[in-house]
Structure 1
Amino acid sequence: MEKDTLYKFFAGLASDSEKIAIKSWLEEDAANQQVLLKERAFYDAIMLADEKLCIEETRPTSGFRILMKRSVKWAAVLLLAFISSYMLLEIQYRTSEAADNTVIVPAGQRVNLFLSDGTKVCLNSGSTFTYPSSFTNNIRNVSLDGEAYFEVAANEQKPFVVHTHICDVEVTGTKFNVEAYEDENSFSAALMEGKIKVRDNAEPSNTVRLNPAHKVNFAQGKMLVSDISDYDVYRWKEGLICFKDLGFVELMKRVEKYYGVKTFIENPSLPEHSFSGKFRVSDGIDNLLRVLQKEVGYTYTYSEDGNVIYIK
């Protein structure tokens, strides 16, 4: 299926014959469903990004840019309904402007967007972010699985709440970073300006309030507050991987997150080493691995599909 046809469909510009062709294509092979989901996630990320900011390493075609400009009003919707029912999808698209938007950020990329209240959000690689088209309730609720930097528009009457799988973060207007990848079962929040309140979802009475230059980490059922000793780690929003005295195993976990690969460390001496440095994500994973090779001797190979790296 041509990508231009899929993009026209996502934008609500596909003809009836093109819609029927997409439906037939989906029914031909279950693998096509995954292709559709992947292209939809990419389309949503591009369409919702601020036009003044770029998405790393990916450039849409000029025709796609035209489609973006003509279809800004269309919000993201879940595509599982398409797989199960063509008619249900049509209904969802007609009502999508009132539904929540979901942005899924591919590996190695970042997405910047502005919410309806003026809040700026920068999403890191591998993140999923859900938010409403407009904040009509007394609380501005959004959901995050991944990492994001927020610059929340001030509104004392409408608190802004970031829901994650472990903790909720409540603010009225401030700048802060939240990292909460569900598959890693981790949570941390760092405050740059203003004040935030962090609440344990399992124990709502377990609450902490942060002041600027402080961060909180959730570990073993407790929230541990400490000073921010290194602001470079939050420069991911600039497309940088920054680390200081970080063990090789932990560093490879970051590599996996940023580049969407799996690493296997077969060299027993590597976990004993720690590293400090800064790398630009757009320079690629090979550049990072080769620079590290100069400090510690190892070799690495890829699997046939390129999704696994064996480090020896």
Structure 2
Amino acid sequence: MEDRLLFKFLKNEASAKEVREVLDWLDESPANREYLNALDEADFALQIWQTKLRRERLEPAAPKRAPMSLRLRGAVRWASAVAAVLVMGLASGYLLTEYNLSRAPEVTFVSTNGQSTLHLMDGTRVWLTPGSSVSYPTRFGRKHRTVSLKGEAMFEVAPDAQCPFLVKTFACTARVLGTRFDIVADEENNEFSAALLNGRLQVTHNETRGSVVMNPLEIVRLDNGLLVKDKLEDVDNYLWTEGIINLRGLKFEEIVRKLEANFHVRFVVERDRMPSVNFGWGKVAVSSGIEHALEVLRYGSDFEYDYDRNAGVVTIR
């Protein structure tokens, strides 16, 4: 890599193609990154400037003392050059910092033992349902804070108007304009939804780029590739962050999935059809245990069950 091109990169004068060339070169080896980091922009710039001056002028054998006006003009030119070099140094330092931040390692947190809570480095708080995961860089950049979600999570985002918070999923990307919201991103079942409890949220479809801005107590669902916004009817669905499962309006198979995830059990249904269930009410605290949850469930349904504690299997009859 020629120093001339590196100098253009440090001065932020490189074209888009040249910037890509430098970034690819930086990715080739740690030695290349060390070389650029070790490059003294100020000295390098002064050397180029002095070389240019030597080529463009002839030094007299016995230089005479320049008049005061010329010396002042020369001093002004020198000060301007030094100031320009300092500005270039600051700009290149910013570019290098942005480059390093953009290459920050990414980590993935998986909620394996029940509901989990995660605190990100910017102060954002994330609640994850069992089996869900969130990936994020070890250091956020200056332009945005981006995380990736699989499963369901509740976010309470630390405000920063200059650095928006983005949540990427398999289907859509949510741009946070407020604070507290819930996202379901179940790629296996092609299910996506975003529920806003307070603040504002912008949801954009990854493929169609269709976008919806949400206000508090609204929910957006993905329906046949379209984002459909509706009123949020039941905020109790989001009490899971407090260890409470809301049963209202759920089908039996939906309740089973929630019980399996929260109590680490497996359901086996030994009947021709799923039990009918119609809960217009009902909540279950995870701390009360699976057997209590099953007894609550029996109040609104028509089934019997056996629970094998050793195997962790619930058989529905």
Same structural fold, with TM-score higher than 0.5 when normalized by the shorter chain:
yes
Structure 2 distance, partners of 1:285, 1:302, is: 9
Give the counterpart of 2:108 among 97, 102, 113: 102
The amino acid that maps onto 1:128 is: S
| Corresponding position of 2:132 | 127
* Alignment size in residue pairs: 214
Deviation at 1:304, TM superposition (A): 8.8
Deviation at 1:184, TM superposition (A): 2.9
CA contact (8 A) 2:278 2:300 kept: no
| Corresponding position of 2:266 | 262
CA contact (8 A) 1:138 1:157 kept: yes
The amino acid that maps onto 2:181 is: F
Counterparts in 2 of 1:137 and 1:184: CA distance versus 1, 3 Å: farther
- Per-residue deviation, residues 189-242 of structure 1 (Å, max 9, x unmatched): 1112221111111222x2111111101111221211111111100000000001
The amino acid that maps onto 1:135 is: F
TM-score by length of 2: 0.62
5 Å matches for 1:29-108? Answer: 98-107=104-113
Aligned identity (percent) is 37
The amino acid that maps onto 2:107 is: N
CA contact (8 A) 2:276 2:302 kept: no
CA contact (8 A) 1:100 1:132 kept: yes
Structure 2 distance, partners of 1:158, 1:232, is: 31
CA contact (8 A) 2:177 2:202 kept: no
Q: What SS does the aligned partner of 1:161 have? A: strand
| Corresponding position of 2:249 | 245
Alignment partner of 1:160 is 2:165: yes
TM-score by length of 1: 0.63
Q: What SS does the aligned partner of 1:290 have? A: helix
Structure 1 distance, partners of 2:176, 2:301, is: 44
Q: What SS does the aligned partner of 2:131 have? A: coil
Structure 2 distance, partners of 1:304, 1:174, is: 41
Q: CA RMSD in A?
A: 2.3
The amino acid that maps onto 2:216 is: P
Deviation at 1:151, TM superposition (A): 1.3
| Corresponding position of 1:90 | none
The amino acid that maps onto 2:260 is: E
- Per-residue deviation, residues 13-69 of structure 1 (Å, max 9, x unmatched): xxxxxxxxxxxxxxxxxxxxxxxxxxxxxxxxxxxxxxxxxxxxxxxxxxxxxxxxx
| Corresponding position of 2:198 | 193
CA contact (8 A) 1:153 1:173 kept: no
| Corresponding position of 1:274 | 278
| Corresponding position of 1:5 | none
| Corresponding position of 1:25 | none
Give the counterpart of 2:226 among 222, 237, 261: 222
Query: Could you list the runs of 5+ residues in structure 2 that have no partner in the other structure?
Result: 1-103
Counterparts in 2 of 1:267 and 1:227: CA distance versus 1, 3 Å: same
| Corresponding position of 1:28 | none
Q: Which has the higher contact order (CA 8 A, sep 6+)?
A: 1
Alignment partner of 1:207 is 2:218: no
Higher mean alpha-carbon deviation, 230-239 vs 151-160, is at: 151-160
Deviation at 1:305, TM superposition (A): 6.5
Structure 2 distance, partners of 1:188, 1:119, is: 20
Structure 1 distance, partners of 2:255, 2:312, is: 17
CA contact (8 A) 2:277 2:300 kept: no
- Per-residue deviation, residues 75-121 of structure 1 (Å, max 9, x unmatched): xxxxxxxxxxxxxxxxxxxxxxx5222211125x2222221111121
CA contact (8 A) 1:160 1:173 kept: no
Q: What SS does the aligned partner of 2:250 have? A: strand
Q: What SS does the aligned partner of 1:212 have? A: coil
Counterparts in 2 of 1:217 and 1:270: CA distance versus 1, 3 Å: same
The amino acid that maps onto 1:191 is: L
